[in-house]
């Protein structure tokens, strides 16, 4: 016979376990996955519950977001994104049993109006509508999926548990005590190439020639009199901050910093020191 105290302790433990299940973090009576079991390109290891909130907060998830977890395991990240932030969320998981478990977890968590679990391959499924991506895949797989991510809408936020993305440096890294790091990237706009700029203080048209390495930009700005200044900049999604160097011709009167917004083939913004002035640009035809 159990003592009343032991019975109460067991009931408390059971309730806590069920509460944990209801957030989608465990197996069920139908299927119980094993941590470390094989997956198509990477094994299943669930993100720690203590990292779920930090990951989603690092991505600044809101109810307006569409969150995709690539390789979603038991579905805990999409379920949390919906429950805690009211976001719409999709999990893509290759393993049929894990995907079915994730779907049952979504039902138990009462989030099926906002969460979809897709049984599929992250290299075949379309996740281009995501505003936030979450990854727990390993560095090699992150690098393999990187070209697809870099082609996504500028401003898409990408959070990875533990693993980097090769030469694409993170925009932010969060290190919680005794935890693996979390990384954030913001998909940068594509700006490499030549642009014709108008509206700079010295008047006339200038040619902006940019090279780009992910969110890091460098190049030259040449004015109508062929005076050339070096430029260096950084992209935060579609926002481009460009610092103008002095160059050989001095560039007297030119602003030191331009704050521009990139939309496809158009740039628009102002000098940081003169927000009332409009600087605009178009991609130069090759
Ligand atoms: C490390 S687990 C992460 C699970 C979940 N994202 C989390 O953070 O709890 C990686 C998951 O990716 C799945 N996976 C591996 N290769 C995949 C692929 N090509 N397409 C979809 N899922 C894949 C595995 O089955 C596994 O569930």
In a domain, residue 147? The reply is yes
User: For 22-36, 62-76, 155-169, 211-225, which range has the lowest pLDDT when averaged over its residues?
Assistant: 22-36
Question: What's the rounded Cα separation, in Å, for the pair 75 and 29?
Answer: 16
Chain segment 159-173, per-residue pLDDT in tens: 999 999 999 999 999
Q: Please state, in angstroms and rounded to a whole number, the distance separating the CA atoms of residues 79 and 136.
A: 16
Q: Establish if 237 belongs to a structural domain.
A: yes
Is residue 10 in some structural domain? no
Q: Which of 71, 123, 137 to mutate to test the pocket of ligand 1 (most atoms within 8 A of CB)?
A: 71
Question: Facing residues of 229 across strands?
Answer: 221
Task: State how far the alpha carbon of 11 is from the alpha carbons of 8, 49, 112, in Å.
Answer: 5, 22, 28
* Atom 4 of ligand 1, nearest CA residue: 73
Instruction: Please check whether residues 177 and 47 belong to one and the same domain.
Output: yes
Of 162, 186, 210, which residue constitutes the final position of a domain?
Answer: 186
- Count of domains forming the chain: 2
Task: Tell me the average pLDDT of the chain.
Answer: 90
23 vs 69, more confident: 69
Measured from the Cβ of residue 103, the count of other Cβ atoms closer than 10 Å reads 19
206 and 274 assigned to the same domain: yes
Q: Quick check: 137 pLDDT over 70?
A: yes
Per the CB < 8 A criterion, the answer to whether 275 and 264 are in contact is no
CB 187 within 8 A of CB 165: no
- Are 105 and 217 members of one domain? no
Sequence length of the chain is: 286
105 and 218 together in one domain: no
CATH number for the domain spanning 181: value is 3.40.50.150
CA of 44 to the centre of ligand 1 (A): 6
Query: For position 250, what pLDDT does the model report?
Result: 56
Q: How far is the CA of 144 from the centre of ligand 1 (A)?
A: 14
Q: Are residues 34 and 171 in the same domain?
A: yes
260 CA to centre of ligand 1 in angstroms: 38
Confidence of residue 88 (pLDDT cuts 50, 70, 90): very high
Establish if 173 belongs to a structural domain.
Answer: yes
Question: 89 with 171, same domain?
Answer: yes
How far is ligand 1, taken at its centre, from the CA of residue 175, in Å? 23
Q: How far is CA 153 from CA 132, 157, 184, in A?
A: 10, 10, 16
Distance CA 24, CA 156 (A): 25
Whether residues 176 and 67 share a domain: the answer is: yes
Whole-number Å distance, alpha carbon 39 to ligand 1 midpoint, is 7
Smallest Cα–Cα separation from 74: which of 107, 41, 50, 123? 107
The predicted structure's pLDDT at residue 253: 67
Asked if residue 135 is part of any domain, the answer here is yes
Q: Is the pLDDT of residue 81 over 90?
A: yes
- Average pLDDT value for residue range 192-217: 94
Please state, in angstroms and rounded to a whole number, the distance separating the CA atoms of residues 203 and 207.
12
| Residue 15 pLDDT | 36
Question: Which tens digit of pLDDT belongs to each residue from 226-249?
Answer: 789 999 999 999 999 999 987 655
The closest-lying atom of ligand 1 relative to the alpha carbon of residue 134 is 6
Whole-number pLDDT of residue 11: 35
Domain that holds residue 125: 21-186
* 255 and 270 together in one domain: yes
Paired tokens of 66: 């569409």
Same domain? For 95 and 179 the reply is yes
pLDDT, residue 22, reads: 37
The mean pLDDT value for 243-264 works out to 81
Q: What's the rounded mean pLDDT across residues 167-194?
A: 97
Q: Which of 27, 42, 122, 123 to mutate to test the pocket of ligand 1 (most atoms within 8 A of CB)?
A: 42
Structure pTM?
Answer: 0.89
Same domain, 28 and 126: yes
SS3 letters across the chain: CCCHHHHHHHHHHHHHHHHHHHCCCCCCCCCCCCCCCCCCCCCCCCCCHHHHHHHHHHCCCCCCCEEEEECCCCCHHHHHHHHHHCCEEEEEECCHHHHHHHHHHHHHHCCCCCEEEEECCCCCCCCCCCCEEEECCCHHHHHHHHHHHHCCCCCCEEEEECCCCCCCCCCEEECCCCCCCEEEEECCCCCCEEEEEECCCCCCCEEEEEEEECCEEEEEEECCCCCEEEEEEEEECCEEEEEECCCCCCCCCCCCEEEEEEECCEEEEEECCCCCCCEEEEECCC
Pair 96, 160 in one domain: yes
Which of these three, 151, 186, 221, is where a domain ends? 186
* Ligand 1 binding residues, C-beta < 6 A: 39-42, 44-47, 69, 71-73, 76-77, 92-95, 98, 121-123, 136-137
In a domain, 3, yes or no: no
For CA atoms 92, 127, 167, 238, the dihedral sign is: negative
Residue 205 pLDDT more than 70? yes
247 plus 224 within the same structural domain: yes
Q: Which of 188, 185, 190 is nearest to 173 (CA)?
A: 185
In a domain, 181, yes or no: yes
């Amino acid at each position: 016979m159990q003592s009343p105290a032991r019975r109460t302790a067991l009931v408390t433990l059971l309730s806590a376990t069920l509460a944990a299940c209801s957030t989608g973090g465990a197996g069920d009576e139908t299927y119980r996955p094993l941590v470390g079991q094989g997956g198509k390109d990477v094994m299943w290891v669930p993100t720690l519950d203590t990292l779920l909130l930090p990951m989603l907060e690092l991505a600044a998830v809101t109810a307006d977001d569409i969150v995709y977890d690539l390789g979603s395991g038991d579905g805990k990240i999409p379920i949390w994104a919906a429950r805690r932030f009211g976001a719409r969320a999709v999990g893509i998981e290759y393993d049929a049993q894990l995907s079915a478990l994730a779907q049952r977890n979504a039902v138990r968590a009462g989030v099926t109006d906002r969460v979809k679990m897709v049984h599929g391959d992250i290299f075949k499924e379309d996740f281009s509508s995501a505003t936030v991506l979450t990854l727990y895949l390993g560095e090699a797989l992150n690098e393999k999926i990187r070209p697809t991510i870099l082609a996504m809408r500028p401003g898409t936020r990408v959070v990875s548990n533990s693993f980097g993305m090769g030469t694409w440096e993170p925009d932010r890294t969060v290190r919680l005590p005794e935890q693996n790091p979390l990384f954030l990237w913001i998909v940068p706009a594509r700006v490499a190439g030549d642009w014709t700029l108008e509206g700079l203080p010295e008047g006339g048209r200038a040619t902006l020639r940019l090279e780009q390495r992910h969110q890091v930009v460098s190049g030259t700005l040449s004015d109508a009199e062929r005076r050339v200044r070096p430029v260096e900049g950084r992209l935060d999604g579609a926002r481009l901050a460009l610092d103008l160097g002095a160059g050989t011709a001095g560039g007297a009167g030119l602003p030191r910093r331009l704050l521009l917004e990139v939309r496809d083939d158009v740039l628009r913004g102002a000098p940081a020191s003169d927000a009332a002035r409009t600087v605009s640009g178009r991609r130069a035809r090759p």
